[in-house]
């Protein structure tokens, strides 16, 4: 190990130890995460200034930083499936009737798909060009829907396919319904089953909170990597697309705020309370890894019942991702369209694009790079070339950070809206102190 690398790692270790001192304070998780973010930006800028993107020493340094950053993301991914399974199973087993489950699912998914359609329209409006016409290939919707069925629950718990999250939700729902049926048929066994489910839920939540205490350290490492490895030339070259993308993302956050306000929730209070979740989503670029923080924020800070929070967070990581599966593929489709002579002002073409973007948003994996897969579904479905996707790879991480934050915010918005419409929100928690922090639970 050479001297520059050793010095870099010693500096990073010092930052970690300094961040660890916040454990002795009464700082909220939001403040700790913000400090980690600031330290990561600062350290990343120093490394980038000294070495520049692509330098061997910087690459070696980032390899060591990944032990903390990617290690933390890996720990969160480790608990995603157990959390979804236990939360959905517990939620369903505690429901008094199946109609409540139906209302929660319809409202959660409906809100996610509606906001995705709005995101697609915003993407089209921001990037629309003149003249062109095209053909629409058929989306194989039946195959997509079949992929949701948990034919191998064990494989789905191991995330064997992109739609495994939805499959685990469905499996947990059926298992929960079976527990309800068991209570009717044999009350003694049914009560024992419910008790076991409660123990499993409590156990998994303890694991979640244990891992979440590491969030500031993960954010520090992830942010350092992003800033230090960013290529300034690529960002400047494709700067207009980056700027337009963030304008679209900003507009969608406003849309979320309007929807929340219409259901009686203060957007400012909402955004203050979910700040740590958005910060982690921004730095990690993983909707799926954000699920534990997502559920905790909804239940402990926004007053959303466990059942609704679990559904919205789980579905939101795979269905209706506003940023990755809504805004981005719609923008690319409009950018590519003039090259094949399609009229982007054609209402039928716009309606078709919005429909395909919305439908294809089901099944986009909630991991970094999910937007690329979404684009590779939408563009061929619209009869458009996919070369532009490759050209934008260099600035993908920069845009993907904002997209992921929007995805996660969309799922939390869906949870709060569903809870408000069903009148199940704990208003005391929702309007309470912003300092009722996740890690203090």
Instruction: Label residue 131 by pLDDT band (50, 70, 90).
Output: very low
Average pLDDT over residues 325-331: 89
Instruction: Label residue 134 by pLDDT band (50, 70, 90).
Output: very low
Q: Where are the alpha helices (DSSP H) in 238-365?
A: 239-262, 267-284, 291-301, 306-316, 328-336, 347-360
Give the integer Cα–Cα distance in Å for 137 and 322: 23
Q: Which of 12, 174, 14, 214 is nearest to 85 (CA)?
A: 174
Instruction: Label residue 441 by pLDDT band (50, 70, 90).
Output: very low
Average pLDDT over residues 260-288: 91
Give the integer Cα–Cα distance in Å for 2 and 51: 14
- Per-residue pLDDT reduced to its tens digit, 183-208: 888 989 988 998 998 899 889 888 88
Q: Is residue 375 over pLDDT 90?
A: no
Residue 96's pLDDT is: 59
Give the integer Cα–Cα distance in Å for 405 and 277: 8
Q: How many CB atoms lie within 10 A of CB 364?
A: 27
Q: Residue 16 is encoded by which pair of tokens?
A: 């970690």
Average pLDDT over residues 232-253: 83
Complete domains list, the chain, with CATH: 3-440 (1.10.3860.10)
Instruction: Label residue 362 by pLDDT band (50, 70, 90).
Output: low
The least confident of 19-33, 67-81, 355-369 is 355-369
Q: Residue 433 is encoded by which pair of tokens?
A: 């102190």
CA angle centred on 407, ends 401 and 410, rounded to 5°: 140
Q: Which of 268, 239, 251 is nearest to 322 (CA)?
A: 251
The least confident of 23-37, 166-180, 241-255, 396-410 is 23-37
Instruction: Label residue 46 by pLDDT band (50, 70, 90).
Output: very high
Residue 132's pLDDT is: 32
Average pLDDT over residues 377-393: 74
Residue 386's pLDDT is: 73
Give the integer Cα–Cα distance in Å for 48 and 64: 16
User: Residues 371, 332: contact at Cβ < 8 Å?
Assistant: no
Residue 98's pLDDT is: 59
Comparison of pLDDT for 245 and 162, the residue scoring more: 245
Give the integer Cα–Cα distance in Å for 306 and 165: 17
Q: Mean pLDDT in the chain?
A: 83
Longest dimension (CA), the chain: 70
Which residues have CB under 8 Å from 24's CB, separation 6+?
Answer: none
- Per-residue pLDDT reduced to its tens digit, 59-111: 999 999 999 988 988 887 788 788 888 888 887 887 755 567 788 888 998 99
CA dihedral 232, 238, 244, 250 (to 10 degrees): -30
């Amino acid at each position: 190990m050479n001297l520059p690398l050793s010095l870099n790692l010693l500096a990073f270790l010092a930052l970690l130890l300094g961040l660890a001192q916040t454990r002795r304070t009464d700082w909220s998780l939001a403040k700790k995460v913000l400090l980690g973010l600031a330290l990561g930006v600062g350290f990343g800028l120093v490394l980038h200034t000294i070495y520049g993107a692509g330098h061997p020493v910087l690459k070696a340094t980032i390899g060591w930083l990944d032990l903390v950053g990617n290690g933390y993301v890996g720990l969160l991914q480790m608990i995603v499936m157990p959390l979804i399974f236990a939360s959905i199973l517990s939620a369903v087993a505690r429901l008094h009737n199946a109609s409540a489950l139906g209302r929660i699912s319809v409202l959660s998914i409906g809100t996610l798909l509606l906001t995705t359609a709005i995101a697609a329209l915003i993407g089209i409006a921001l990037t629309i060009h003149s003249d062109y016409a095209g053909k629409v290939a058929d989306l194989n919707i039946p195959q997509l829907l079949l992929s949701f069925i948990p034919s191998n629950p064990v494989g789905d718990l191991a995330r064997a396919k992109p739609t495994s999250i939805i499959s685990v939700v469905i499996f947990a729902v059926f298992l929960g319904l079976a527990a309800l049926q068991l209570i009717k048929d044999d009350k003694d066994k049914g009560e024992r089953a419910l008790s076991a489910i409660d123990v499993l839920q409590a156990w998994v939540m303890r694991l979640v909170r244990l891992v979440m205490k590491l969030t500031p350290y993960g954010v520090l490492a992830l942010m350092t990597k992003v800033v230090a490895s960013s290529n300034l030339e690529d960002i400047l070259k494709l700067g207009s697309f980056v700027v337009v993308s963030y304008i679209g993302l900003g507009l969608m956050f406003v849309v979320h705020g309007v929807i929340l306000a219409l259901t009686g929730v203060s957007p400012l209070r909402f955004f203050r309370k979910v700040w740590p979740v958005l910060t982690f989503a921004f730095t990690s670029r993983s909707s799926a890894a954000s699920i534990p923080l997502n559920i905790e924020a909804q239940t402990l800070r926004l007053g959303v019942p466990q059942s609704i929070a679990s559904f919205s967070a789980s579905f939101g990581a795979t269905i209706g991702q506003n940023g990755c599966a809504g805004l981005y593929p719609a923008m690319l489709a409009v950018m590519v369209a003039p090259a094949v002579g399609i009229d982007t002002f054609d209402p039928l073409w716009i309606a078709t694009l919005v429909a395909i973007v919305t439908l294809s948003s089901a099944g986009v994996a909630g991991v970094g790079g999910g937007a690329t897969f979404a684009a590779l579904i939408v563009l061929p479905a619209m009869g458009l070339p996919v070369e532009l996707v490759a050209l934008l790879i260099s600035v993908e991480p920069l845009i993907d950070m904002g997209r992921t934050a929007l995805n996660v915010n969309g799922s939390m918005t869906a949870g709060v809206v569903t809870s408000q419409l069903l009148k199940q929100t704990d208003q005391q928690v929702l309007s309470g102190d912003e300092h009722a922090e996740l890690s203090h639970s």
